[in-house]
A and B are shown apart, each in its own frame.
Chain A
């Protein structure tokens, strides 16, 4: 391995310089404003968790976890997502307060195997609604997400909603066992529709069943596809899943957010803990989803708590990319003084600061190049030399 240069950072780690920091904070605050208005309460969890607990329960692949050892030799992970730690807290400490409405803004960590362009540490803003198993809570989570994104200024985006339970029961009723259903699910997960179609053709099914599996790929679009999906399913399970989406759509109409919704019954997430309704958010000018979410009733079982839950997470860096807002220069004034006039400079600065203005006071003796230093400030006041007052 070559020797590191002093400016290098680990793969996927990024600095946030002041301008970006300000933009990030502004967007984060806009999201938080809406999330708080819906009565969700913010919380924090530790950056490090046990591999055996949170690491294992998380849906993030093992090879994507950052692992380290504590002094006792136990394996720790840098939290790869926030849903799992919150599930841990909710099952152990807050189990009696359900339904719970929790929110978070935190950095999560996933190692990147591939080339550049993908961060290993990124901030997620999200919510979890724990303890309400009704479809109304799915509708609330999706509506809040859409509302928060709009508040943050995002204009052109779509939320694709699917139902893992529907896919599972359709596959099971046609191909008969989990193992064969898994193969089909894997093709959908890999977005490999060519492979899916070829595989279905070679399964030796009746032409009716074959066409049903192929028709699944067409179940993508507006609410009419929900009706098609209910017709396509034969089992009660499948029809029930379809009806859940139909009910969800009606609720989303009440919330007035259906313009942003696309139905997609082929949606399969890498998050293996999603058990029924799941969704992904896409925005213009960003090549990957900017957020996702869904119902994860089984995750809390891993923490010995049988509680339904749903939530969403937005990847803040991708949302920023989608917003594409110009970087805002902060308005900061400067008072440049010579040592003997410090008291005067400080008094003036305090006055301005009381009026919520941002002021730097800088001793001119500490500046090498006055021209380039003063350039970055909005307004400069010179308090230099003896008692001759201001000369701007």
Chain B
């Protein structure tokens, strides 16, 4: 039998939706898959191996080729700019990237500061808007930044807007809609093309159906 196809899956929020999608597409994933604490899950029936990775790292595993395929948020792809094929919009984990801040806040005109987990996305967005800002990189709880006065505005993903609301922030600008994508390593795309095409066809038929 050929070597298993390795798929990098994002742990956490996106995982469940991604696993559901794969099951609907006809892949026999084991029931204990979802609450497994393992980092690697082999599914011999499908000749597949799943790597459970941090969502931010999925594109890295795929670019370096230690995973053939991956499911990654478009937000991560925009931030990381990895050399991978983006083949399918899986239309799951819908949210959007946005600029947010305190309502009616006075901005620092000399050195406006923006806090974010997505420094590349934020930097290129503001440059395209013709505005020079200073980016402060945070790893989570970005909403804190304007409240405690670390930054005037934040760039983050917004799904329902509930978190912003609870912290008294408002969405100021909509940057881009985000969904999860099926990504493929460029070498795997050539050497394992038949198996990958089969997966794409199965997933595409679910997405269109």
Closest Cβ of chain A to B58, distance in Å, is: 14
Find out whether the CB atom of A284 lies under 8 angstroms from the CB atom of B85: no
A193: Cβ under 8 A from any B Cβ: yes
A-B pairs, 3 with minimum CB distance: A287-B65, A191-B85, A282-B187
For chain B, residues 63 to 90, give those with C-beta under 8 angstroms from any C-beta of chain A. Answer: 63-66, 83-89
Report the contact-size class of chain B (Cβ under 8 Å from the partner): 10 to 19
A158: Cβ under 8 A from any B Cβ: yes
B87 to chain A: which residues have CB within 8 Å?
193-194
For chain A, residues 148 to 184, give those with C-beta under 8 angstroms from any C-beta of chain B. Answer: 156-158, 160
A286: Cβ under 8 A from any B Cβ: yes
CB within 8 Å for A282 and B186 given contacts A158-B191, A194-B181: yes
Find out whether the CB atom of A117 lies under 8 angstroms from the CB atom of B64: yes
A192: Cβ under 8 A from any B Cβ: yes
Chain A window 184-207, contacts with chain B (Cβ cutoff 8 Å), 1 for yes, 0 for no: 000000111111001000000000
A289: Cβ under 8 A from any B Cβ: yes
Q: Choose one: A157, A160, A193, A198; the contact of B85 (CB below 8 Å).
A: A193
Closest Cβ of chain A to B12, distance in Å, is: 22
B89 to chain A: which residues have CB within 8 Å?
194, 198
Which A-chain residue is minimally distant from B200 (CB atoms)? Answer: A193
Find out whether the CB atom of A194 lies under 8 angstroms from the CB atom of B86: yes
Chain A window 106-146, contacts with chain B (Cβ cutoff 8 Å), 1 for yes, 0 for no: 00000000000100000000000000000000000000000
Closest Cβ of chain A to B137, distance in Å, is: 15
Find out whether the CB atom of A262 lies under 8 angstroms from the CB atom of B193: yes
Q: How distant is the Cα of A288 from the Cα of B191 in the complex, in angstroms?
A: 12
Closest Cβ of chain A to B21, distance in Å, is: 15
A102: Cβ under 8 A from any B Cβ: no
11 A/B residue pairs, CB under 8 Å, sorted by A: A157-B191, A160-B190, A190-B86, A191-B86, A193-B86, A193-B87, A282-B191, A283-B187, A285-B65, A287-B186, A288-B187
CB within 8 Å for A286 and B85 given contacts A158-B191, A191-B186: no
Closest Cβ of chain B to A263, distance in Å, is: 11
B116: Cβ under 8 A from any A Cβ: no
Find out whether the CB atom of A194 lies under 8 angstroms from the CB atom of B187: no
Closest Cβ of chain A to B97, distance in Å, is: 15
Q: How distant is the Cα of A284 from the Cα of B185 in the complex, in angstroms?
A: 12
Find out whether the CB atom of A287 lies under 8 angstroms from the CB atom of B187: yes
Find out whether the CB atom of A191 lies under 8 angstroms from the CB atom of B83: yes
Find out whether the CB atom of A288 lies under 8 angstroms from the CB atom of B186: yes
A interface majority secondary structure: mixed
Find out whether the CB atom of B63 lies under 8 angstroms from the CB atom of A287: yes
Interface centre among A221, A282, A287, A289 (most CB of B within 10 A): A287
Which B-chain residue is minimally distant from A157 (CB atoms)? Answer: B191
Q: Choose one: B63, B84, B187; the contact of A289 (CB below 8 Å).
A: B187
Closest Cβ of chain A to B61, distance in Å, is: 10
CB within 8 Å for A287 and B190 given contacts A191-B86, A193-B86, A194-B181: no
Closest Cβ of chain A to B181, distance in Å, is: 6
Chain A window 65-103, contacts with chain B (Cβ cutoff 8 Å), 1 for yes, 0 for no: 000000000000000000000000000000000000000
B64 to chain A: which residues have CB within 8 Å?
117, 287
Q: How distant is the Cα of A158 from the Cα of B190 in the complex, in angstroms?
A: 7
Q: How distant is the Cα of A192 from the Cα of B186 in the complex, in angstroms?
A: 12
Q: How distant is the Cα of A158 from the Cα of B85 in the complex, in angstroms?
A: 17
Q: How distant is the Cα of A191 from the Cα of B184 in the complex, in angstroms?
A: 10
Find out whether the CB atom of A194 lies under 8 angstroms from the CB atom of B190: no
B66 to chain A: which residues have CB within 8 Å?
287
Q: How distant is the Cα of A287 from the Cα of B60 in the complex, in angstroms?
A: 11
Chain B window 89-109, contacts with chain A (Cβ cutoff 8 Å), 1 for yes, 0 for no: 100000000000000000000
Find out whether the CB atom of A156 lies under 8 angstroms from the CB atom of B191: yes
B187 to chain A: which residues have CB within 8 Å?
282-284, 286-289
Given contacts A195-B86, A282-B186, 18 further A-B contacts (CB under 8 A): A117-B64, A156-B191, A157-B191, A192-B86, A193-B85, A193-B87, A198-B89, A262-B190, A282-B191, A283-B187, A283-B191, A284-B187, A284-B191, A286-B187, A287-B185, A288-B83, A288-B186, A288-B187
A283 to chain B: which residues have CB within 8 Å?
187, 191
A192 to chain B: which residues have CB within 8 Å?
86
For chain A, residues 233 to 292, give those with C-beta under 8 angstroms from any C-beta of chain B. Answer: 262, 264, 282-289
CB within 8 Å for A288 and B65 given contacts A194-B181, A262-B190: yes
Find out whether the CB atom of A282 lies under 8 angstroms from the CB atom of B190: yes
Which A-chain residue is minimally distant from B84 (CB atoms)? Answer: A191
Q: How distant is the Cα of A262 from the Cα of B188 in the complex, in angstroms?
A: 13
A285 to chain B: which residues have CB within 8 Å?
65
CB within 8 Å for A286 and B65 given contacts A156-B191, A158-B190, A160-B190: yes
